[in-house]
Structure 1
Amino acid sequence: MSHFTHMKTSFQNLFYLEKALNRLNIEFKQQQTAAESEELSTTNLVIPQSNGYDIEFAWNGQVYELIVDISFWEQPYPIESFIDKVSKQYAGEVIIGESHKMGFQPVKYQQNVDGSNTVVLERWNQK
């Protein structure tokens, strides 16, 4: 018997979530949810697993929840580490993306040995 777990996340932006998964070399596919009107349809992200019990980031109206059957988890690291890795990468993508909108350019993006990330941004005055 399988028990799907819905894990709360703070991922609100599909674009940055996709960029984070890409940077981590996690393969995923987009899945459109059916809705009565096309305006209400949403895009979820599905991470296929070879056992058929895929991992899904599903939009709940506020954030992308992680939906997974923990008893069929097939990733190379525990689920807590998975969420941590994605969260750190997502945060970096948000910082870079939103800073870019304000005129900043990334100069350096480094993943440190301790698991943290360093982001250096610069912006030149237009005067």
Structure 2
Amino acid sequence: MSHFTHMKTRFQNLFYLEKALNRLNIVHKQEQTIAQNSKSSHINLVIPQSNNYDIEFCWNGQEYELVFDLSFWEQPYPIENFIDRIAQQYAGEVIIGESQKIGFQPIKYQQNSDGSNTLVLERWNNEK
């Protein structure tokens, strides 16, 4: 019997979430769903697992919840580490993307041996 867990996240931007998964080499696919009792649709992200108990990031109207069955977890690290790794990459992607909108460019993105990331941005002042 499956017992799905719904874990709240702070992931609100599909673009940055996908970039974070790509940076971590986590294979995923988009799945469009139509909300019940509504004509609106949204995109969820599905992380396939070989046992067919896939992991999903499902849009709940405010954020992408992580939905999974812990009994069938097949990832190489525990759920807490999994979500922490994605959150760390997501934060980096948000910083880079939002900074570029105001003229900053990333010049260094380094993953350190202690698990932290170093991100260096620069912006030139063209005013005289």
Show structure 2 runs of 5+ residues with no match: none
Deviation of the 1:34 alpha carbon: 1.7
Corresponding residue for residue 56 of structure 1? 56
d(CA) in 1 for partners of 2:7, 2:68 = 8
Deviation of the 1:7 alpha carbon: 0.3
SS where residue 121 of structure 2 aligns?
strand
TM-score, normalised by the number of residues in structure 1 = 0.96
TM-score, normalised by the number of residues in structure 2 = 0.96
Corresponding residue for residue 104 of structure 1? 104
Q: Summarize the alignment of residues 46-85 of structure 1 with structure 2, pairs less than 5 Å apart.
A: 46-85=46-85
Q: Which amino acid aligns with 2:6?
A: H
d(CA) in 2 for partners of 1:28, 1:102 = 30
d(CA) in 1 for partners of 2:64, 2:118 = 25
d(CA) in 2 for partners of 1:114, 1:25 = 19
Corresponding residue for residue 33 of structure 1? 33
Deviation of the 1:126 alpha carbon: 1.7
d(CA) in 1 for partners of 2:2, 2:71 = 7
Corresponding residue for residue 93 of structure 1? 93
SS where residue 32 of structure 1 aligns?
strand
SS where residue 42 of structure 1 aligns?
strand
SS where residue 98 of structure 2 aligns?
helix
Q: Deviations over 1:57-83 (max 9, x none)?
A: 000000000000000000011111000
Corresponding residue for residue 43 of structure 1? 43
Q: Tell me which stretches of 4 or more aligned residues in structure 1 moved more than 4 Å.
A: none
SS where residue 26 of structure 1 aligns?
coil
Does residue 14 of structure 2 align to residue 7 of structure 1?
no
After superposition, the CA RMSD in angstroms is: 0.7
| Total equivalences in the alignment | 125
